[in-house]
Amino acid sequence: MSEPTPPKASPSEDRERPVAPSQIDRRGFFRGAAALTVGGFGAATELAAPEAQTTVAAPISADAVQRLETQTQSALRWIGRDPADWVRPRAGVDHNVVIVGGGQSGLSIAYGLRRKGVGRVEVIDRAAPGEAGIWRSIARMHQLRTPKTLAGPELGNAALSFRAWYETLNGTTSFDTLDRIPRTAWADYLDWFQQTTGTTVRYRTRLLEIEPQGDLLRLHLEQDGARRTVTARKVVLANGYAGAGGPNVPEFIRALPSNLWTHTTGNIPFESLAGKIVGVVGAGSSAFDAAAVALENGAAEVHLFSRRAYIDYPAPPGPAPAQAPPPAPAPERGYPNLLEQSYELPDVVRWRNFVLGDRRVASVPFDSLQRAVEFDNFKIHLNSSLSDVAAAGNQLTGKVGSKSFRFDHLIAATGYRIDLAAQPELARIHEAIALWGDRYKPEAGEENGAGASHPYLGAGFEFLPRGSAGAEYLRNIHCFNLGAALSFGIPVGDVPSVVDQPRLLTAIARDLYVEGIDTAANKRFVDAPLSAPSSAPYDKAVATREVA
Ligand SMILES: Cc1cc2nc3c(=O)[nH]c(=O)nc-3n(C[C@H](O)[C@H](O)[C@H](O)COP(=O)(O)OP(=O)(O)OC[C@H]3O[C@@H](n4cnc5c(N)ncnc54)[C@H](O)[C@@H]3O)c2cc1C
């Protein structure tokens, strides 16, 4: 299984404290500006600079930076201080909540918990500072794939939104003129969001294993190469797309020498692919993005293999052709403004929606398609499954039907799998977790092995026990990653899934609140004699009884 490059350890850097917003390093803001000077697509290490990136935007002025800071400070003052931590401490517990993952989900959830008054929340990430999340590493597209107008991690606080950040730095019309959000601008915005919300992440800290201890969770961590354990009441797995089973690597690729192939979640050696023949297995967005970067780095030929008969893509930008408006979405598929209700759909509807999604051809953004197709040395092979793939020295050979191919490198753009048994941190407990295969029996003809392996989650993203008794600790592990896709009807971790975070926050707060209820203290409070304050302030107005 190909993994993203592990972070480098540095003993000198333990915990990265965000600076107060008033002290934010101005270079942080200007990194956005530098990116914008090349059209919003800043230099990511493995990306070449394609022609599409040459639109020059005005550099960001110091005034704009100051305006953003002033505006943000005002907004933070207007929403008021964070409530005091109301969670009753529990003996032997280090953290009320540990959030695993400091990407966009982890940052947003941490902010949401703070605004709910949940204290002693720890965010950990195995990555080094600046390397958490995907936006400066394995995301290779120029623009986010999702629409620019979606709600983001700001959780309703408009002054902390991407639009507020972007427009204040780049001018009031700048957001309107965007097609979608530039990828590196999104990465810069998330950095700013983290700094502005004062969210501390303990970097270079990997969760190795969750060990239940009664209803508590003992977490085995590796921090800068050293092992330690901490105890938490709640764990949120905000560990990304690969966090519930890892990348999906077909067996025939996994069996090849590891230097001859890379999954798209890995560090593809693009620079060494100049002049080489590259094969791409898969035809989703990541396949096209990886193909484009290989071509931009001078690959001699890139061959993309799709099992399907066509490539799906949304309508290209520009005026819509004269035709009838699209039909209203079926309520059973979920309305765009009501996505958070998808969890409430009956199992049979959630299951069928998943099966439909599994059957459909994944849609590729039009610009990602164009970016690769404009190269004459890019070939798409439809209805083509590679077979007989084998290593021959430093090359690979393979076949589609009777046609033979030779490659210097193969890129597996084959997505992710859901397989809790493959997650090291769940090694001790995965067998106790209820899966869809345990809880739902599909009708004949609707079986789906991939769906059956998804965890069957509770309404607060919590794992549920497989059996009718025991393993109650599972309810304290909240799965906010791709494993939640079937239960919540949406790829969890995506920007659209932010709408489901209030459920998670409410569930965590509810559990901690209810657990902290002290019935004896409540009785003492209710039984305490009521004492009236001094009547001095109103004495003179008190009517005296008239004497007859
Ligand atoms: C190539 C690609 C493009 C995408 N494009 C879009 C898009 O355009 N729009 C959209 O809405 N969604 C998109 N997504 C989906 C989703 O938005 C992103 O994956 C997003 O990064 C999810 O954020 P996250 O915080 O949930 O996870 P991530 O950003 O993946 O962050 C997870 C973090 O967890 C850390 N971690 C993992 N395991 C451990 C561990 N054991 N211990 C400690 N830390 C750990 C990782 O280091 C990482 O920093 C895309 C996904 C991919 C893969």
pLDDT tens profile 385-442: 999 999 999 999 999 999 999 999 999 999 999 999 999 999 999 999 999 999 999 9
pLDDT of residue 338: 83
Torsion sign, CA atoms 131, 132, 138, 142? negative
- Does residue 21 carry a pLDDT above 90? no
Whether the Cβ atoms of residue 193 and residue 89 lie closer than 8 Å to each other: no
Q: Which atom of ligand 1 is nearest to the CA of 105?
A: 25
Q: Which of 111, 228, 241 to mutate to test the pocket of ligand 1 (most atoms within 8 A of CB)?
A: 241
Task: Write the residue with the smallest CA distance to atom 35 of ligand 1.
Answer: 101
Q: Are 160 and 154 contacting, i.e. CB atoms less than 8 angstroms apart?
A: yes
pLDDT at 189 over 90: yes
Q: How confident is the model at residue 248 (pLDDT cuts 50, 70, 90)?
A: very high
Contact present, 193 and 18 (Cβ < 8 Å):
no
The alpha-helical segments, DSSP class H, found in 136-261 are 162-170, 183-196, 251-254
Going by C-alpha positions, the residue among 483, 295, 289 that lies closest to residue 376 is 295
More confidently predicted of 360 and 265: 265
What percentage of the chain reaches a pLDDT higher than 70?
85
Pocket of ligand 1 (CB under 6 A): 100-106, 124-127, 132-134, 138-139, 144-146, 206-207, 238-241, 243, 286, 425, 493-495
> Which residue from 134, 224, 268, 501 has its CB within 8 A of the most atoms of ligand 1, so it is best to mutate?
134
pLDDT score recorded for residue 1: 33
Q: What is the rounded average pLDDT of the residues 448-452?
A: 97
Could you say which DSSP state residue 314 is in? P
- Which ligand 1 atom is at minimum distance from the Cα of 494? 17
Closest ligand 1 atom to the C-alpha of 103?
25
- Give the position, in ligand 1's atom list, of the atom nearest the Cα of 143: 8
Please give the residue that has the higher pLDDT: either 476 or 39. 476
**Going by CA atoms, what residue is nearest to atom 4 of ligand 1?**
139
pLDDT grade for 28, boundaries at 50, 70 and 90? very low
Which residue has a Cα nearest atom 48 of ligand 1?
Answer: 133
pLDDT classification of 544: cutoffs 50, 70, 90: confident
Does position 51 have pLDDT exceeding 50, yes or no?
Answer: no
CA atoms within 13 A on the CB side of 319: 3
pLDDT averaged over every residue in the chain: 88
Question: What spacing in Å lies between the alpha carbon of 240 and ligand 1's midpoint?
Answer: 4
Q: Could you report the per-residue pLDDT of 83-119, keeping only the tens digit for each? A: 999 999 999 999 999 999 999 999 999 999 999 999 9
- What is the pLDDT averaged over residues 514-526? 94
Give the HSE-up count for residue 111: Cα atoms under 13 Å, Cβ half-sphere: 25
